[in-house]
Amino acid sequence: MATADLAVPPADGLRRDFLQAMSLAACTVAVVTTDGPAGRFGVTVSAMSSVSADGPAPTLLVCVHHLSPAAAAILANGAFCVNVLRDDQSAVSDAFAGRGPVPGGDKFAAAAWTPGAVGAPRIAGALAWFDCRLAAGERVGTHHVLFGAVAAIGTAGPGAPLLYANRGYGTPVPLPQTALGA
């Protein structure tokens, strides 16, 4: 796909319809962090997906806006950590999304941290975390699609993931089980 094809914004109606339809696709919320020679940065993302559990290392991807300082830092540091937030961490999400003031102007003051295996900080109490080495990155329109080769993984339970849907935060509510084939 030629990048030039993506340089022209879609027609207003198509963009509006895209945002509306995407607001119905529920997501988990993660804070992607990095640290290293290019500095320490973090950004809230909903665009995070598993790519593959197999191969030399499990692989995931995140999409980060090209104007976010975290994107350039991840590309330069060559590593990042995906911190999957639990449903009581919406304030951490807001801090790393630039929503509202943070103590001392430092987003990192919004959470407690532990060092990660690739240099990127982990949120103490995140529901799950993935330490990644940057495997590949591609600019697609306004965003960098960043592929991470997972080097270390952790989970902390019990807890439920923070969800983002219908332009607001939520938590999963299990439906009654239905019998297969019923």
Ligand X SMILES: Cc1cc2nc3c(=O)[nH]c(=O)nc-3n(C[C@H](O)[C@H](O)[C@H](O)COP(=O)(O)O)c2cc1C
Integer-rounded Cα Rg, in Å, for the chain is 17
Give min distance, CB of 62 to ligand X, in A: 7
By the rule CB under 6 A, 63 interacts with ligand X: yes
By the rule CB under 6 A, 34 interacts with ligand X: no
Query: Where in 16-96 does DSSP place strands (E)?
Result: 27-28, 30-34, 41-45, 48-52, 59-65, 79-84
Give min distance, CB of 4 to ligand X, in A: 21
By the rule CB under 6 A, 96 interacts with ligand X: yes
Report the DSSP beta bridge partners of residue 10.
none
- Decide if 112 contacts 123 (C-beta within 8 A): yes
Give min distance, CB of 107 to ligand X, in A: 8
Question: Site for ligand X (CB under 6 A): which residue of 51, 97, 156, 160?
Answer: 97
Q: Can you tell me whether residue 165 is helix, strand or coil? A: strand
| Residue 68 neighbours by CB distance under 10 Å | 19
Question: Site for ligand X (CB under 6 A): which residue of 33, 34, 35, 45?
Answer: 45
**Contact footprint for ligand X (CB under 6 A):** 29, 43-47, 63-65, 68-70, 93, 96-98, 164
